[in-house]
Amino acid sequence: MKARLLWDKILRMGIKLCMLTGVAFTFAACYAPAHEPNMEFEAIGDITNEENEPIESIEVAAKYRGYPLVTGYSNEDGAYRIHEGYFPAFFDSLDIVARDTSGIYEPDSVRVKVEIDPTTKRGKWFVGTFSVQHDFQLKKK
């Protein structure tokens, strides 16, 4: 539990520093030292509107306590994939958030429990992979 609280504090401080300096970062590169448990993360799915038509350019982010960890966008078919090969393995849950930056659609999100596949473990610090599949159907504002 102490390790999780320390990571939360480091995460908040790092994000504030990046915001103040205008530096972009990926969470894994800044906060996951090689000697800490890590995993591979992937979220995939489709994004459609209420008529089941694909929506392009929807921002999809994996967030922990509101902080974005990895972000991507849906393609012209409405499909999205966010992936990080070196991801800290101390999260118990993540929020996958779909947000229309143009403002036409309401945002949507889902909280997923992190369940690492132990059969993909490699070496001392790589604990495995975590994949989630979730489709979003966005409603107009």
Q: For 86-96, what is each residue's pLDDT tens digit?
A: 777 888 899 99
**Please, where are the H alpha helices in the chain?**
2-21, 27-31
Inter-residue contact 47 to 98 (CB < 8 Å): yes
- pLDDT, mean of residues 118-136: 91
Query: What is the tens place of the pLDDT at every residue in 68-86?
Result: 889 999 999 999 999 988 7
User: Does the structure show a pLDDT above 50 at 131?
Assistant: yes
Q: How many residues does the chain have?
A: 141
Q: Give the β-pairing of 38-48 and 136-137.
A: parallel
Please, which pLDDT band fits residue 135 given cuts at 50, 70 and 90? very high
Which pLDDT belongs to residue 69? 86
According to the CATH classification, is domain 2-137 in 2.60.40.650?
Answer: no
Lowest-confidence region among 13-17, 36-40, 67-71, 98-102: 13-17
Please, which pLDDT band fits residue 8 given cuts at 50, 70 and 90? low
Question: What whole-number distance in Å separates Cα of residue 8 and Cα of residue 20?
Answer: 18
81 bridge partner residues: 44
- Tokens standing for 70? 């990895």
- pLDDT, mean of residues 93-116: 95
Please give the model's pTM, rounded to 2 decimal places.
0.74
Domain ranges of the chain: 2-137
- Tokens standing for 18? 């990046």
